[in-house]
Amino acid sequence: MTGGSLPPDGTVAIAGASLAGLRAAQGLRDNGFAGSIVMVGEEQHPPYDRPPLSKQVLAGAWPPERTALAAPDALAAMGLELRLGCRVLSLDAGRRLLSLDDGSELRADGVVIATGARPRRMPGTEDHPAVTVLRTLEDVRGLRHALDEAGPGCRVVVVGAGFIGSEVAATCAGLGCRVTVLEGLPAPLAPALGEDVGAALGAMHARNGVTLRTRAIVEGIDRPAGGGAEVVLAGGDRLAADVVVVGIGVVPATDWLAGSGLTVADGVVCDHRLFAADRVVAAGDLARWQWRHAGEERSVRIEHWETAAQMGAAAGAALLAGRDQAPPFDPVPYFWSDQYGLRIQVLGRPDPTDEVAVVEGSLDAQDGKFVALYGRGGRLTAALAVSRPRLLMAFRPLLVAGAGWDEALAVLRP
| Residue 3 pLDDT class (50, 70, 90 cuts) | low
Share of the chain above pLDDT 90, in %: 94
Q: Are 246 and 132 in contact (CB under 8 A)?
A: yes
Spatial distance between the Cα atoms of 281 and 275, rounded to a whole number of angstroms? 4
| Residue 414 pLDDT class (50, 70, 90 cuts) | low
CATH of residue 158: 3.50.50.60
In total, how many domains does the chain have?
3
Q: Answer yes or no: is 6 within a domain.
A: no
Q: Are residues 211 and 300 in the same domain?
A: no
Range of the domain at 211: 121-248
Which residues are 356's β-sheet partners?
Answer: 374
Helices (H), ranges, 293-343: 305-321
Q: Which of 321, 349, 367 is the last residue in one of the domains?
A: 321
This prediction's pTM:
0.95
Give the pLDDT confidence score for residue 369 in this predicted structure.
96
Question: What is the identity of the amino acid at 232?
Answer: V
Q: Are 129 and 241 in contact (CB under 8 A)?
A: no
3-state secondary structure 170-190: HHHHHCCCEEEEECCCCCCCH
Query: What value does the mean pLDDT of the chain take?
Result: 95
Q: Which of 183, 216, 248 is the last residue in one of the domains?
A: 248
CATH of residue 358: 3.30.390.30
State pLDDT tens for residues 335-373: 999 999 999 999 999 999 999 999 999 999 899 999 999
Q: Are residues 135 and 217 in the same domain?
A: yes
State pLDDT tens for residues 161-220: 999 999 999 999 999 999 999 999 999 999 999 999 999 999 999 999 999 999 999 999
- Pick the closest to residue 218 from 157, 156, 159 (CA basis): 159
Q: What is the mean pLDDT of residues 295-302?
A: 88
Q: Are residues 212 and 279 in the same domain?
A: no
Give the pLDDT confidence score for residue 107 in this predicted structure.
97
Query: Using only C-alpha atoms, what is the Rg of the chain?
Result: 22
Q: Answer yes or no: is 333 within a domain.
A: no
The 8-class DSSP code of residue 315 comes to H
